[in-house]
Amino acid sequence: MIQRKVSIILENKPGALVRVVGLFHQRGYNIESLHVDPVNDLTEYKYVEKNLNIKLKKGEVSHLIISTTVNDNLLRQILRQINKLIDVLIAEEVK
């Protein structure tokens, strides 16, 4: 088991954070730390706009970073499950 950080860009809508945290709870994964910020400078997230063919607006998305301790297989499973959530634009491991 290795300490991992998962970076999630999600729509800033009511219930979005609860769904992500709920996924961890339902699967029995432990969240060691959680940090959420609204995204005001969208220049860093142009790759999300390009990959999803959308136009992001200031205050429309949040950046969520979750620290957890999991192995490689569990991390892949967590990322697949998070990316299926409706308000999540992209979830990836922070290297």
Q: What is the signed CA dihedral for 23, 29, 32, 37, rounded to 10 degrees? A: -20
Count CB atoms within 10 A of the CB of residue 43.
Answer: 5
Task: Give the model confidence (pLDDT) of 20-29 as tens digits.
Answer: 999 888 888 8
The pLDDT assigned to 1 comes to 83
pTM: 0.85
Residue spans of the domains in the chain: they are 2-93
Q: What is the CATH number of domain 2-93?
A: 3.30.70.260
Phi and psi at residue 69, in whole multiples of 5°? Answer: -115, 110
Whether the CB-CB separation of 13 and 38 falls below 8 Å is answered with no
Q: What are the E-state strand segments in the chain? A: 2-11, 33-38, 61-70, 88-93
Q: Summarize pLDDT for 28-72 with one digit per residue, the tens.
A: 888 999 999 988 887 777 777 788 788 877 888 899 999 999 888
Work out the average pLDDT over 6-25: 91
What pLDDT does residue 33 have? 95
Q: Which residue has the higher pLDDT, 81 or 1?
A: 81
